[in-house]
C-alpha cells in the first residue's frame, strides 16, 4: 500500500504493446503500456476495457468509426466490441481491466502476451 508514480513506472520500460501490471484491486488490473503503430483487430468476450491516455494521442478504431483520444481522456470499450488501438506516434496508456484480460482478446498471435510483468 504505497504511492505509485505513473511517470516513474513508465520510465522502467520502453517496448511497445507489452503491458506491465502496476496495481491490482477487486480482481482488476491496472496496467501501463506504450503503444506505437497498429495493433491487431480483436475483441474480448468477457471483459470491458478502459484506456486512459497518459501521454500522446491514441486512435481507437472500431469497425464503423475511429475515436481520437488525447492526454487526459479515456474510453471504455465494452466486451464483444471489435477494436484496434493505433498510435501514429508513441502513446502511453493506462489500462483498467479484469485480471483475466488477454491483450489480443480472441486472437492469438506473435503479439499475444500470456503473462505480464508486474513492476
Residues at the site binding its own copies, with contacts judged by CB under 8 A: 1-7, 23-26, 28, 30, 47-50, 62, 67-70, 72-78, 81, 96-98
- Cβ-Cβ contacts under 8 Å for 59 (sequence gap 6 or more): 66, 67, 68, 69, 85, 86, 87, 88
Smallest separation, CB 112 to its own copies (Å): 21
Nearer to its own copies, 39 or 101 (CB): 101
Smallest separation, CB 62 to its own copies (Å): 8
Nearest to 82 by CA among 102, 98, 96, 62: 62
Nearer to its own copies, 26 or 115 (CB): 26
Smallest separation, CB 44 to its own copies (Å): 10
Nearer to its own copies, 57 or 107 (CB): 57
- What is the β-pairing status of strands 28-38 and 66-70? unpaired
CB atoms within 10 A of CB 109: 8
8 A C-beta contact, residue 28 and residue 99: yes
Nearer to its own copies, 60 or 110 (CB): 60
Amino acid at each position: 500500500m504505497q504511492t505509485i508514480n505513473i511517470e516513474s513506472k513508465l520510465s522502467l520500460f520502453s517496448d511497445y504493446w507489452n503491458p506491465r501490471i502496476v496495481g491490482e484491486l477487486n480482481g482488476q488490473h491496472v496496467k501501463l503500456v506504450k503503444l506505437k503503430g497498429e495493433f491487431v483487430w480483436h475483441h474480448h468476450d468477457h471483459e470491458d476495457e478502459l484506456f486512459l491516455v497518459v501521454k500522446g494521442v491514441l486512435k481507437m478504431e472500431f469497425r464503423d468509426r475511429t475515436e481520437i483520444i488525447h492526454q487526459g481522456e479515456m474510453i471504455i470499450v465494452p466486451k464483444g466490441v471489435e477494436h484496434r488501438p493505433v498510435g501514429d506516434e508513441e502513446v502511453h496508456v493506462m489500462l483498467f481491466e479484469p485480471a483475466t484480460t488477454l491483450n489480443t482478446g480472441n486472437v492469438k498471435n506473435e503479439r499475444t502476451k500470456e503473462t505480464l510483468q508486474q513492476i
